[in-house]
Amino acid sequence: MTTLIDDFNRRVRYVRISVTDRCDFRCVYCMSEEMTFLPRAQILTLEELSMVARAFVELGVEKVRLTGGEPLVRRGIAQLVSEIGTLGLDDFAMTTNGVGLVKHAQALRDGGLTRLNISLDSLDADKFRQLTRTGDLHKVIDGIRAARDAGFERIKLNAVVLKGRNDDEVVDLVEFARREHLDISFIEEMPLGDVSDHSRAETFCSSDEVQALIEARYPLVPTTESTLGPSRYFRMADSESRIGFISPHSHNFCSTCNRVRVTVEGRLLLCLGNEHSVDLRAVLRRHPGNMDALKTAIVEAMPLKPERHHFTTDGDVQVVRFMNMTGG
């Protein structure tokens, strides 16, 4: 089996596939309030998305994550999951804002999805609405419980921490995760897209600061557990919940990078923090159904993969594209 190795001898074992740029939220760190979404003709069909996933699996990728925008707003998402669910993946995951889980959780589980990451940045309904601009906290909590009832284990919350916005809730979020038997990762905001809501220089909150807030209440013990993602995990002595930190600024993880992304337009993005990419949609539409042509394009893209990102915390926007194009 051909495997995907870049020029820094890093093997790509994980692909994140965005199935839509649309979302029913407008999170302040992800996109601006007014967004223009891609026309239907420009986005990959469900068949093309399924083919992309199969191509990566045939090239040795062990983990596929479906993202957005919000993947559960994509019509036919359960069908796409059931197709990818036949590829024999040990780790088939999705990142969602949780609202659509009451409707979809059982079908996703039955379709072969193995893990869920659910975004939750606040437990205060008013603040939650401010941070998401449109979101209803209770629908997300109902979604979390529906996912658990559908049989998902090790559900993980993702919380982006903004100083002066939700850093005062870090311990509350940990306690919610403990009560609900969930894992939780705290994420340093990444400077993708020119967000209008806040100054990233002012709101940047490092993982070390977040960890200190938690350790004032719960001592953390580092663990070597991994989910093939960038989280550094810690354990608490009296809980099975795992605490993770995703720290692109304060604990750079590019040297062990094992992933690439595909946008819903079919752009193979070699790195979240750069624009190096290859147009897989052109290959898919020039050679419909031709798996060899698609796999060749993916293999030939590997030398383009940059060594690392060049993010700063001073609020400068290095990458113009908003986070909703890749879903993190």
Q: Which residues of the chain form contacts with ligand SF4 (CB under 6 A)?
A: 253-254, 257, 271-273, 308-309
Q: For residue 227, give the DSSP letter.
A: -
Residue nearest ligand SF4 (C-beta atom): 257
Minimum CB distance to ligand SF4, residue 51 (Å): 23
Nearer to ligand SF4 among residue 37 and residue 253 (C-beta): 253
The DSSP line for 34-97 is: S--PPPGGGSPPHHHHHHHHHHHHHTT--EEEEESS-GGGSTTHHHHHHHHTTS--SEEEEEE-
Minimum CB distance to ligand SF4, residue 269 (Å): 8
Return the biggest CA–CA distance within the chain.
Answer: 58
Minimum CB distance to ligand SF4, residue 13 (Å): 12
How big is the CA angle at 33 (ends 27 and 37), to the nearest 5 degrees? 95
The dihedral through the CA atoms of 91, 97, 98, 103 has a sign that is negative
Nearer to ligand SF4 among residue 116 and residue 257 (C-beta): 257
Minimum CB distance to ligand SF4, residue 77 (Å): 25
Nearer to ligand SF4 among residue 140 and residue 260 (C-beta): 260
Environment class of 206 (CB within 10 Å of its CB; exposed 0-12, middle 13-18, buried 19+): middle
Nearer to ligand SF4 among residue 92 and residue 311 (C-beta): 311
List beta partners, residue 17.
Answer: 66, 262
Minimum CB distance to ligand SF4, residue 189 (Å): 14
Minimum CB distance to ligand SF4, residue 122 (Å): 26
* Residues 157, 179: Cα–Cα separation, whole Å: 13
Nearer to ligand SF4 among residue 106 and residue 274 (C-beta): 274
- Contact partners, residue 168, CB within 8 Å, separation at least 6: none
Minimum CB distance to ligand SF4, residue 114 (Å): 22
Minimum CB distance to ligand SF4, residue 253 (Å): 5
Nearer to ligand SF4 among residue 167 and residue 307 (C-beta): 307
Nearer to ligand SF4 among residue 30 and residue 271 (C-beta): 271
The dihedral through the CA atoms of 107, 108, 113, 117 has a sign that is negative
Query: Strand 14-18 and strand 259-262: pairing?
Result: parallel
**1 C-beta neighbours (distance < 10 Å), count:** 6
Environment class of 175 (CB within 10 Å of its CB; exposed 0-12, middle 13-18, buried 19+): middle
